[in-house]
Amino acid sequence: MYNITNAEFRRMADYRGQRCAEIEVNSGKAGEHDLLVYVARTPQGAYDIVHMYSTDIDPEIDWYNNNLHNAYEEISEDEFGARSSSSMQTAELHKAQFKEKLFGMKHISAKLQENL
């Protein structure tokens, strides 16, 4: 499972016409890239991840958010779950646990309530 050591609300963004909160998630674990997670409100009023990027950036050379050298790699939730586990059932559980941990962080939930 992807370990969350830190998560920070970065900004509001538009993803395919949908208003989203962009959250940077750090794992702090060697070999795991940071993530940019795009969160939107569902019609039922809950929060859901609509898109994710794996980031392999070095702030000293990538300060301008350049993607010419694949600093940001698009990943799907299914790929994220597959990276965490080999079993589909376990991958679904890992995704649910990731969302629960991310949305359960007080400063993140406060920013989501404030902005979405």
Q: How confident is the model at residue 63 (pLDDT cuts 50, 70, 90)?
A: low
Q: Which residues contact 38 (CB under 8 A, 6 or more apart)?
A: 13, 15, 20, 21, 22, 23, 49, 50, 51, 52
Q: What is the mean pLDDT of the chain?
A: 80
Which amino acid is present at 37? V
**And the tokens for 69?**
């050298």
pLDDT digits (tens, 9 = 90+) for 66-88: 555 455 556 655 555 555 445 55
Higher pLDDT, 11 or 90: 11
How many CB atoms neighbour CB 70 within 10 A? Answer: 9
Residue 106 pLDDT > 90, yes or no?
yes
Rounded Cα–Cα distance for residues 64 and 110 (Å): 28
- Lowest-pLDDT choice from 40-49, 55-64, 78-87, 97-106: 78-87
Which amino acid is present at 97? Q
Q: How confident is the model at residue 33 (pLDDT cuts 50, 70, 90)?
A: confident
Q: Which residues contact 113 (CB under 8 A, 6 or more apart)?
A: none
Residue 31 pLDDT > 90, yes or no?
no
Grouping H, G, I as helix, E, B as strand and the rest as coil, residue 46 is: coil
| Residue-level pLDDT at 92 | 78
The pTM of this model reads 0.77
Rounded Cα–Cα distance for residues 73 and 31 (Å): 15
